[in-house]
Amino acid sequence: MPLFDHIEELFVEPLEEEGHTLLPSSEIEPKLAEFQSLEFHNVSFRYKQDGPYVLNDVSFTLNKGHQVALVGSTGSGKSTIMRLITKTYRNYEGSILLNGVELSRIAAEDCAHLFSMMMQDVHLFEQSIDFNIALGKQGVGREQVVEAARYVYADRFIDQLPNNYDFKLDKNGANLSVGQTQLISFARAIAQGGQIMMLDEATSSVDSITEDLIQKAMNRLYQDKTVIAIAHRLSTIKHSDLILVLDKGEVVERGNHQQLIEFSGLYASLLNESKGDSLSQKSVSNM
């Protein structure tokens, strides 16, 4: 009996996550039932304890219904911020608060339901479009899949395909265009039901018709959802409540589009160098 008593204690005691005591799920669940705010306070991060910082003293707040755009060159810290939020990276310095609770005290599985990912390198299975949007999530049937596709205007091309939502994709979605793949990614994120949309905008060029659908989807997301985005499209960035311009792991400028234009700093220079709606990688790299 003492052995069984000890095993039961292991399940009721808070687990340790890299030096931090995790709060019990029963305590966390009511606090994370609905997203309210995400706060970074003087957050720094490095891969090794004696290594260089890849993120240094970053602070910002994302409130419910607001949008934050991350702008900067490759290696500036944008993806690191995203990976800290999703707990892919841990052992950060400073404080990250999710609904007022320190993120290091929250188990990944207790906060995963709040986030929906819209990544540019989306993985598509050799299955139907329906499967690729629903991903077997409980409660997501054909009705919810169609609703999600309509929300992001993916239905405009799906309805033209043979068998529509039963259309089978080739490996990695090779029988879809780049833009269509992005729209499937958007629909998948909506179907998963997260309250915070985490978007990594694709830099690849797409045909004008699909580009128009993507922009309509983005406009709708920005009207209705809480969004944090690694942004490349000027039209996306302009509609963000807060733009963080990152360089070498530090926030070098912050504000909305108009404020940063009037500041005439790096953000303004980036826009002057770019052509069209998308910020070119060359222009971004010059920051």
What string of DSSP letters covers 113-132? GGEEEE-SS----SSBHHHH
Task: Name the 3-class secondary structure at 92.
Answer: coil
pLDDT of residue 39: 97
Which of 2, 1, 104, 99 shows the shortest CA–CA distance to 43? 104
| Structural domains of the chain, count | 1
Residue 192 in domain: yes
Pairwise CA distance, residues 30 & 40, whole Å: 22
pLDDT of residue 19: 56
Q: Vertex 170, ends 166 and 172: CA angle to 5°?
A: 115
**Has residue 127 got a pLDDT over 60?**
yes
pLDDT of residue 8: 40
CA distance to 85, 101, 140, 223, 244, per residue, from 35 (Å): 13, 12, 21, 17, 21
By mean pLDDT, which of 55-64, 98-107, 177-186 is the weakest?
A: 177-186
Residue 8 in domain: no
CATH of the domain at 132: 3.40.50.300
- The residue with greater pLDDT, 166 or 194, is 166
- The residue with greater pLDDT, 236 or 148, is 148
pLDDT in tens, 130-173: 999 998 888 889 999 999 999 999 999 999 999 999 999 999 88
**Has residue 67 got a pLDDT over 60?**
yes
Residue 209 in domain: yes
Residue 152, φ and ψ in degrees, nearest 5? -105, 15
Summary mean pLDDT of the chain:
84
**Has residue 11 got a pLDDT over 70?**
no
> Model's pTM, two decimal places?
0.82
| Enclosing domain of residue 159 | 35-285
pLDDT of residue 282: 43
Radius of gyration over every alpha carbon of the chain, rounded to an integer in angstroms: 21
Residue 195 in domain: yes
Residue 91 in domain: yes
Residue 226 in domain: yes
Strands (E), the chain: 16-17, 20-21, 37-45, 55-63, 67-72, 93-98, 101-102, 115-118, 196-200, 226-230, 242-247, 250-255
pLDDT of residue 255: 95
Residue 23 in domain: no
